[in-house]
Structure 1
Amino acid sequence: MENNEYLYHYTSVETLALILKNRSIRFNSLDKMDDLQEQETYDLKNAGQFVYVSSWTDDESESIPMWNMYASLDKGVRIRLSKNPFRLYNNTAEDLAKAKGLHITDASKGNSIQTIIPLAEIFSKGFISIQAITKDLLCKVEYTDEKEKLYPKLLLENGNQFSINFGKLGKYKNLHWQFQKEWRYILNIYPLNLMQSPDKINTDFQMFANRLLFGAEKQPFSYYDMIIDDKAFADMQVTLSPRIGAGSRVIVQDLIEKYNPTAELKESCLSGML
């Protein structure tokens, strides 16, 4: 693989342990990000809670500010994974029937729909995510001082009908953050029961929009964990922080040996320089 096929994530040894053990990447909502400006919009106060992101960088060179802010110089790591490393699920008609509690014969003759979140989970837990179906999560962050992008207008009204453009959130950051060279995976997740008639689904969405308008709607999950594909997981690279302590080093070595022995463990190029 070429380097431009990889992204990098600075984090703590503790978070690495969870990623390796659970084979997953955690997405947190915008209202949990360090940039408080991200959750703000022109017209809706709490829309950021429905936009879940995982932040990475395409900068292959190690960054001292990134080490300091997100991992620490003495007890952190930098994870490298291939772009779009998430597991794909094949969803058959029979799978969907089981999720709905129906008993039918799968007439699809083995055909299936690929998603990055199982459709059975979406149906059973009562939420919707367009990106789960389109598989189009990855976005290069645009740094800007344009107010219209930093504080986007999300609500569109047509008579007594509402629509919300969540797609404007999570893609723009203030120029002060340019050093991050950030790419991020974005999941828009909001509560919607798909196990009902199309008319009822539309009505429920309008009710969701109304509650959101008045700040009364709550996110379906405080976070969401995406499973890493086996091939991407095996190709992981872990770089130790520049001043890694002996204890943290042993912990990382043991974690990799136990959960991902094919992963590459690498010394920091800044080791001995800081």
Structure 2
Amino acid sequence: MQNTPDYLFHYTNIETLSLILANRTFRLTSLNQLDDLQEKETGDTPNFGQFCYVSSWTDDETESIPMWNMYSSLESGIRIKLRANPFKLYKNSPNDISKIKLLSIIDSSTEAFQQSYIPLRRMLEQQFSCLHAMTPSFLHQVKYTNDQAKLYPNLILKHDNQILMMPDQLGLYKNKYWSFQKEWRYKLMCFPIGPDNSMEQLNIMASLMVNGIVKQPFSYYDLKLDDDAFSHMEITLSPKISPGYRLIVNSLIEKYNPTAQIYNSSLIGLV
């Protein structure tokens, strides 16, 4: 059982900050676009990691020079602090819930679909499914290991001429050489088939995904931030930030999120 921290930190650049502030969203990116090329691979399916979308954070409150250099910049970067699970929940209508044929498949009641982090209406309209978005939390602590079975998990179980996918182990383990990140990540599995499709259609799509034939529904997904979490955002400026970039950040905050707090780096003069 993981002990979820109250707050998490995300290193990024000022351009990305401007989009986060203007749109009030945070982006989850497919594993096949991350810096760790090992992550998208499994033991039995080609490029299945394309269906797994993550946003990477750290629980380390102490500033990290490697993190500044790899995911931001000492001269023009920022670090965002937000409470854990900061995303907006949407209420789904009874009419949309009644269209879900997955209820019988996952043996769940309609209560499980009352709210979701991705509107059910959007899944129905755009024909993709993301059951993780209907769970109370999709935040996971990354585990670091050299165990090849965990780094390249087997996701497929064949039973009674049916293909059963067990993708939950994907995106949870990384090689030990990444352990300095102390990573937590938000993880969603999104598949290119609507929740109103039949079991037969789901089996066909599962077979296509297992054989690497079908593509991901999108390369990234932007989740809306909860208003309260957004208003309590904290931003730390990079250690060597220039006066010009400092002015840009101050202007962005003043325009889009005036209640956010801005702090200087604790590494000023040390790097």
Same topology, TM > 0.5? yes
Distance 2:243 2:202 in 1: 53
The equivalent of 1:44 in structure 2 is 45
Q: Give the superposition deviation at 1:91.
A: 1.6
Report 1:258-269 matches (<5 A).
258-269=255-266
Deviations 1:128-154, CA, capped at 9 Å, x for gaps = 111111132100000001111001001
Structure 2: how far apart are the matches of 1:20 and 1:204? Answer: 39
Which secondary structure does the structure 2 equivalent of 1:69 belong to?
A: helix
Task: Give the match for residue 134 of structure 1.
Answer: 135
1:209 Cα deviation after fit? 1.7
Q: Which residue pairs with 2:213 in the alignment?
A: 216
Matched residues in 1 for 2:97 and 2:146: separation? 45
**Distance (whole Å) between structure 2 residues aligned to residue 225 and residue 95 of structure 1:** 22
Task: Please say if 1:204 is aligned against 2:205.
Answer: no
Secondary structure of 2:258's counterpart equals coil
Q: Which residue of 2 aligns with 1:102?
A: none
Deviations 1:148-182 (A, max 9, x none): 10010011101321011110100000000000000
For the residue of structure 1 that corresponds to 2:38, the secondary structure is helix
Which TM-score applies when normalising by structure 2? 0.91
CA distance in 1, matches of 2:211, 2:98: 36
- The answer to whether the 8 A contact 1:46-1:212 is kept is no
Structure 1 gaps, min length 5? 100-111
Give 3-state SS (helix, strand or coil) of 1:127's partner: coil
Post-superposition Cα deviations, 1:48-98, rounded to whole Å, max 9, x if no partner, equal 000000000000000000000000100000000000000011123156579
- Cα distance in 2 for partners of 1:209, 1:95 equals 23
Q: Distance in 1 between matches of 2:258 and 2:242?
A: 21
2-structure distance, mates of 1:132, 1:46: 22
Q: Which residue of 2 aligns with 1:30?
A: 31
Name the structure 2 match of 1:107.
none
Q: Which moved more, 1:232-241 or 1:185-194?
A: 185-194
Describe the shift of the 1:79–1:124 C-alpha distance in structure 2 as closer, same or farther (beyond 3 A): same
Q: Does 1:239 align with 2:236?
A: yes
Aligned CA distance change for structure 1 residues 251 and 169 (closer, same or farther; 3 Å): same
| Structure 1 residue 194 displacement after superposition | 2.7
Question: Partner of 1:170 in structure 2?
Answer: 171
The residue matched to 1:224 in structure 2 has which SS? strand
Q: Is the CA contact 2:99–2:196 (under 8 Å) kept in the aligned structure 1? A: no
Q: In the aligned structure 2, how far is the partner of 1:89 from the partner of 1:14?
A: 28
Counterpart for residue 104 of structure 1: none
Following the alignment from structure 1 to structure 2, what is the Cα–Cα distance between the partners of residues 259 and 204?
A: 44
Partners of 1:116 and 1:135 within 8 A in 2: no
Whole-angstrom distance in 2 between the partners of 1:177 and 1:237: 26
In structure 2, what is the equivalent of residue 57 of structure 1?
Answer: 58
Query: For residue 258 of structure 1, what is the amino acid of its counterpart?
Result: K
- Is 1:148 the equivalent of 2:149? yes
CA RMSD of aligned residues (A): 1.7
The alignment partner of 2:228 has SS state of helix
Structure-1 separation of matches of 2:207 and 2:171: 22
Shift of 1:114: 1.5
Name the counterpart of 1:189.
190
Summarize deviations over 1:24-52 as a string: whole Å, max 9, x none: 00000000110001011101111000000
Other structure's SS at 1:87 match: coil
SS at match of 1:156: strand
Q: Segments of 4+ in structure 1 off by > 4 A?
A: 94-99
1:69/1:156 Cα in 2 relative to 1: closer, same or farther (>3 Å)?
same
